[in-house]
């Protein structure tokens, strides 16, 4: 019989390279939100991937980006701290990028420092001709001695099982740290906040999304008069300006209604239960530079 392997793996990559998409695809559940915008993931998000002969505890991290706020600094610190704490690093590169970006140079430096087995994953190959993939492999081979280089499409779930097989080769023999039905360290409250933020990111124009955060104040289990259980959730979307508040609420409350409806539908799928969601919008100027908020809400604990 094959030996059971287990251990810790961290994803790292430039913002928008597809880390969260890959994580969700490997776990088979929505653990981490994904959008076409940059700087989507803000904290380390743990997921548990169970396979016949292994249990992989994989952490999604905020994407490396250029940013000057306290929030950005904490996000980038989180990503680099995580790669120091794992058995294996998964470095995700967006294959559609023209060359090795500054962010990827910086990540390569951190990988060299970490001296850990590192798998390079070239993502979004569904958008690439074969020659381009081969060229990228050559380019990155010259940058670092990767344990392996795997081209995948996280979106189409193509080539992703190879990543698991390569990780299994690296991980030590070990126990199951988590029960089979556990698949994330995210609480239902966290998931609710993130899903609301995802819908806001997707529906709102460029400048607003990065200036928002969501807080769930109430998360209660209730019953209908017929005895059917449902969750009653109350949440606030914080933004940085009065004018943004107007846009998030929209004419006659229409935008907020759309955000809430899509968020509720997702939550009902994720929680497998009816949800009653109420949302508010409030202004908190320059919150991403307020230590009281970013430390408490986003700093790695
Ligand atoms: N065509 C294509 N698009 C992809 C693929 N993987 C991810 N994407 C898209 O790339 C965008 C970014 O995906 P995310 O998973 O949110 O990226 P991320 O690396 O987690 O981004 P941050 O959290 O900001 O660091 C989304 O629009 C995804 O749908 C892929 O394999 N092919
Ligand atoms: Mg992400």
Q: What is the pLDDT of residues 208-266, one digit of tens each?
A: 878 999 999 999 999 999 999 999 999 999 999 999 999 999 999 999 999 999 999 99
The band of 206, judged by pLDDT with boundaries at 50, 70 and 90, is confident
* Integer CA distances (angstroms), 132 to 121, 126, 137, in order: 14, 12, 9
Quote the pLDDT of residue 2.
77
Helices (H), the chain: 19-27, 70-83, 102-114, 130-141, 160-170, 188-203, 242-249, 254-271, 291-298
Residue nearest to atom 2 of ligand 1 (CA): 124
Measured distance CA(89)–CA(19) in Å, rounded: 12
**Reported pTM:** 0.97
Residue 76 pLDDT exceeds 90: yes
Residue nearest to atom 8 of ligand 1 (CA): 18
Residue 144 pLDDT exceeds 90: yes
By the CB criterion, residues less than 5 angstroms from ion ligand 2 are 19-20, 40-41
Q: How many C-alpha atoms does 123 have within 13 Å on its Cβ side?
A: 26
Q: Which ligand is nearest to the CA of 75?
A: 1
Q: Which residues approach ligand 1 with their CB closer than 6 A?
A: 13, 15-21, 34-36, 38-41, 62-63, 123-124, 126-127, 153-155
Per DSSP, the three-state class of 151 is strand
Q: What is the DSSP string of 218-287?
A: EEEEEE-TTS-EEEEEEEEEEES-HHHHHHHH-GGGHHHHHHHHHHHHHHHHHHTSEEEEEEEEEE-TTG
Q: From 18, 27, 132, give the residue whose CB has the most ligand 1 atoms within 8 Å, as the site to mutate.
A: 18
> Phi and psi dihedrals of 278, rounded to 5?
-120, 135
Q: Report the top-level CATH class of 5-170.
A: alpha beta
Residue 301 pLDDT exceeds 90: no
Quote the pLDDT of residue 210.
85
> Phi and psi dihedrals of 15, rounded to 5?
-55, 140
**Mean pLDDT along residues 11-18:** 98
200's tokens: 């806001």
> Phi and psi dihedrals of 274, rounded to 5?
-65, 145
Angle at 191 between CA 62 and CA 262, to 5 degrees: 105
Q: From 155, 201, 210, give the residue whose CB has the most ligand 1 atoms within 8 Å, as the site to mutate.
A: 155
**Mean pLDDT along residues 95-99:** 91
Residue nearest to atom 1 of ligand 1 (CA): 124
Domain spanning 188-298 has what CATH number?
Answer: 3.30.300.20
CA of 44 to the centre of ligand 2 (A): 10
CA of 251 to the centre of ligand 2 (A): 31
Quote the pLDDT of residue 7.
98
Residue 71 pLDDT exceeds 80: yes
CA of 207 to the centre of ligand 1 (A): 19
Identify which of 109, 123, 139, 105 has the alpha carbon closest to the alpha carbon of residue 16. 123
Average pLDDT along the chain: 96
Domain boundaries, the chain: 5-170, 188-298
Strand arrangement of the beta sheet that strand 274-283 belongs to: 213-223, 229-239, 274-283
The band of 83, judged by pLDDT with boundaries at 50, 70 and 90, is very high
Question: Please, are residues 260 and 216 in contact by the beta-carbon 8 Å criterion?
Answer: no
């Amino acid at each position: 019989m094959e030996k059971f392997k287990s251990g810790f793996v961290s994803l790292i990559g430039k913002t928008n390279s597809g880390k969260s998409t890959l994580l969700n695809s490997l776990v088979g559940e929505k653990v981490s939100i994904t959008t076409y915008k940059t700087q989507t993931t803000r904290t380390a998000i743990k997921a548990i991937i169970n396979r016949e002969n292994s249990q992989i505890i994989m952490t999604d991290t905020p994407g490396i980006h250029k940013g000057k706020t306290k929030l950005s600094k904490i996000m980038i610190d989180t990503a680099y701290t995580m790669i120091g704490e794992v058995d294996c690093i998964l470095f995700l590169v967006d294959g559609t990028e023209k060359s090795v970006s500054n962010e990827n140079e910086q990540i390569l430096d951190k990988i060299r420092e970490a001296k850990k087995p590192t798998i390079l994953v070239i993502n979004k190959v569904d958008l690439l001709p074969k020659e381009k993939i081969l060229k990228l492999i050559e380019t990155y081979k010259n940058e670092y001695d990767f344990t392996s280089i795997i081209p995948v499409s996280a979106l189409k779930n193509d080539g992703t099982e190879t990543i698991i097989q390569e990780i299994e080769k690296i991980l030590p023999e070990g126990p199951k740290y988590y029960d089979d039905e556990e698949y994330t360290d995210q609480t239902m409250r966290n998931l609710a906040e993130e899903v609301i933020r995802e819908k806001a990111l997707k529906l709102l124009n460029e400048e607003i999304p990065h200036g928002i955060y969501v807080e769930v104040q109430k998360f209660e289990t209730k019953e209908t008069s017929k005895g059917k259980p449902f969750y009653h959730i109350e949440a606030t979307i914080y933004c940085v300006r009065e004018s943004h508040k107007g846009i998030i609420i929209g004419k006659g409350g229409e935008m907020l209604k759309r955000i809430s409806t899509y968020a509720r539908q997702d939550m009902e799928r994720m929680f497998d239960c009816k949800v009653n969601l109420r949302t508010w919008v409030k202004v908190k100027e320059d919150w991403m530079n307020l230590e009281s908020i970013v430390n408490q809400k986003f700093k790695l604990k």
